[in-house]
Amino acid sequence: MPLKKPQPSPATRKAFHRGLTEMIELGRAPKDLPSGGLPQRIYVLSLRAIAKGQGLKRAKPMVWEFLVGGDRKPAVLIAIGDPPGKKRPRMTSLTRGPVASAALEATRQVETLPRVQRNKYELRRLRISALSIGAFWLKSLEKGKPDLAVPYHAIHQKLKRMQAYTMDEFLSVIRPVAEKRLAAETALVDKAKSAKGK
């Protein structure tokens, strides 16, 4: 089944088109790029939320990324900051080259996974920067079916790139790593405070 793609607000789309046009005019993006882009909502998850076993309840939407081009055209990835409240969305970055091409290829690949095709999901992306992990978050749209995680960038040896895991399986692998990293960061902070007090 095709993945449901979340749709950004008209203001976010406008910011994307404005940013893309500006980058083309500045010569930072190719002139022959298509005007449409594939939008993806990026959520972030903190070490603390993972270590406390809070699952995805603490995942926060932070930015939209629009994937443009691909196939025989150059690929670019445009990030649009979409802050809560009344602030206007605006372009925050443009990425081109291998990183953008890999993002487009991974998006095409995730849609063809057998485990993904059997049920209905909404396509999201999950970023855990402190652990250098990026994964597709396939939010289940069917009662009783678990969310899936498909890592596209993970340095952890127990996570295979572009393999679908239930979200519980995924979180159970990264939780001990998050706990260890959090403990190390806390120890550094305590050591710095102790040194200051001397």
Q: How far apart are CA 164 and CA 114, in angstroms?
A: 9
Q: What is the pLDDT of residue 7?
A: 92
Q: What is the pLDDT of residue 198?
A: 62
Task: Find out whether 154 and 135 touch, Cβ atoms under 8 Å.
Answer: yes
Place 97 in a pLDDT band, splitting at 50, 70 and 90.
Answer: confident
Q: Parse the chain into domains and list their residue ranges.
A: 10-192
Q: What is the pLDDT of residue 69?
A: 84
Q: What is the pLDDT of residues 5-56, one digit of tens each?
A: 989 999 999 999 999 999 989 988 888 887 778 999 999 999 999 999 888 9
Task: Find out whether 128 and 167 touch, Cβ atoms under 8 Å.
Answer: no
Q: How far apart are CA 39 and CA 138, in angstroms?
A: 15
Instruction: Give how far Cα 159 sits from Cα of 14, 172, 173, 190, Å.
Output: 37, 11, 8, 32
Q: How far apart are CA 21 and CA 185, in angstroms?
A: 42
Place 173 in a pLDDT band, splitting at 50, 70 and 90.
Answer: very high
